[in-house]
Structure 1
Amino acid sequence: MTQSSLKSFRDTVEAIVVALLLAFVIRAFVVQAFKIPSGSMLDTLLIGDHLLVTKFAYDLRLPSTVFLDTTDGKVLYTVSDPERGDIVVFKYPEDETKDFIKRVVALPGETLEIREKVVYIDGQPLDEPYVRHTKHTMEPVRDNFGPYTVPEGQYFMLGDNREASHDSRWWGPVKREKIVGKALVIYWSWGSITDVRFGRIGTLFL
């Protein structure tokens, strides 16, 4: 191998290593991609939407690796607290190998009650223009629920497609440390291979 070809080989290897390191840092600390597999968040999120989720919206955490298990993430710096209305990705409480996406509806210490499909927080009806009511697909029906006081450090999650969402009404609130990140933007969307929904690309969730 000549001197020039050796240098070219080293440059290529260095470029690959740098690219891999950047990809790891971005995925671990900055953003992660998710695909919407179900209709539980209709009409806000459609099946086939592809999202970028910001992982530092709430906490900057030490990432998990094959050498270090930090499933709950050691918090390096707290940025902000989740707010009502945020669309978040979190570890499914009944199987943490799965990620779920729902909307934060009730905060720590608040009392939530659902009466005839209307959500009340601390006795006050919640304005939810994003909610879709359809035919029930989840059993048992959860049109009425609570009252339930959310424990400290936990959040009550509901899907926008209320009658077709498996959410905190079934498996309880989500611990803050199980929240992966906050929905940021739709970067791709299609209903099928030939049906690209260009109008949804670039939709921001701020």
Structure 2
Amino acid sequence: MSGAPEPILPPRAITPERRLEALQHVNRGRGSFAFLWDWVKIFTVSVAVFFALRTFIVEAFKIPSGSMEGTLLVGDFLLVNKVVFGAEVPLVGRRLPAFRHPARGDVIVFEWPKDHTKNFVKRLVGLPGDTLAMRDGVLIRNGVALAEPYVRHLDPQSDPVWEEFRWQSDFLVKVAGAAMAYHPSRNNWGPLVVPLSQYFVLGDNRDNSLDSRYWGFVPDSLLRGRPEVVYFSFAPDSSNEFAWLSHVRWARLGDRVR
């Protein structure tokens, strides 16, 4: 009969095959440009996150010299905490707020005052206002001789005198005629007063370290961070270009820097 209602058909079941077919149809509709744009966005975000982490949070450094041997070895790769002392904001010459100030005994990474393209790793031994001296290789801070268990003396018998030490005369404790009679050497110098907003650093390999004794104080503005952990280490071998594979120091991986 013409007035009879049409029968209601049951909905078609959505099978896994039909779901896959629908998804393929949608993806074909987006085209290759949309697919490429997704990858561009992923890549851009990944690069931005990488540079943000490297600039403000953590950065990798390699130890190129033996000035910190006993604590750090040539071939150690370090993760450096840049947040702790306040990371520098690029292009604006300002730093983020620090979590804490540098402390005596900290191992720190900083730009070398003589060449800002080079990063050094040393131990901070003098804060602003500290009076420092060395007598026969023993560091004296504010009148107290320090026991430094991390220090190595591989050449204790020699005590060379270098022209580079002469800068120290301008920072001697004020005593009449002190500068005139001052003849500093590697193991005997001071007493010096550390200026405001600057630090005095020494290498743990005390007889083989180019440090503040030679070129002066480290301004606060040149601090890069504090190394936290050795994430990779290998014994360099000039005769083996694959030493980073065959000479891995497995026992050092994960060591905390203290």
d(CA) in 2 for partners of 1:22 and 1:76? 18
d(CA) in 2 for partners of 1:158 and 1:148? 14
Match of 1:86 among 75, 83, 106: 106
Aligned position for 2:117: 97
Aligned position for 1:169: 213
d(CA) in 2 for partners of 1:184 and 1:139? 35
Residues 29-40 of structure 1 mapped to structure 2, 5 A cutoff: 29-40=56-67
- Give the CA deviation at 1:76: 3.0
The yes-or-no answer on 1:159 pairing with 2:203 is yes
Query: Can you list the C-alpha shifts for 1:130-160, whole angstroms capped at 9, x where unaligned?
Result: 0000126976350101000000111100000
Aligned position for 1:61: 88
d(CA) in 2 for partners of 1:175 and 1:148? 16
Runs of 4+ aligned structure 1 residues displaced above 2 Å come to: 1-7, 135-141
The yes-or-no answer on 1:8 pairing with 2:8 is no
- Under a length normalisation based on structure 2, what TM-score does the superposition of the two structures give? 0.73
Conserved 8 A contact 1:106-1:112: yes
The yes-or-no answer on 1:117 pairing with 2:137 is yes
- Give the CA deviation at 1:170: 0.6
Aligned position for 1:186: 230
Match of 2:250 among 194, 198, 204: 198
Identity %: 44
Count of matched residue pairs: 199
- Under a length normalisation based on structure 1, what TM-score does the superposition of the two structures give? 0.91
Conserved 8 A contact 1:60-1:79: no
Higher strand share: 1
d(CA) in 1 for partners of 2:52 and 2:161? 42
- Give the CA deviation at 1:2: 6.2
Q: Which has the larger radius of gyration?
A: 2
The worse-fitting range, judged by mean Cα deviation, of 164-173 and 138-147 is 138-147
User: Alignment partner of 1:101: what SS?
Assistant: strand
Q: Taking structure 1 as reference, are residues 36 and 138 closer, same or farther at Cα in structure 2, changes over 3 Å only?
A: farther
Conserved 8 A contact 2:71-2:257: no
Aligned position for 1:23: 50
The worse-fitting range, judged by mean Cα deviation, of 41-50 and 140-149 is 140-149
Say what the alpha-carbon RMSD is for the aligned residues: 1.8
d(CA) in 2 for partners of 1:137 and 1:25? 46
User: Alignment partner of 2:96: what SS?
Assistant: strand
The worse-fitting range, judged by mean Cα deviation, of 17-26 and 1-10 is 1-10
- Give the CA deviation at 1:106: 0.9
Query: Can you list the C-alpha shifts for 1:34-91, whole angstroms capped at 9, x where unaligned?
Result: 10000000010000000011111111431x2xxx3x5xx4023132110111111111
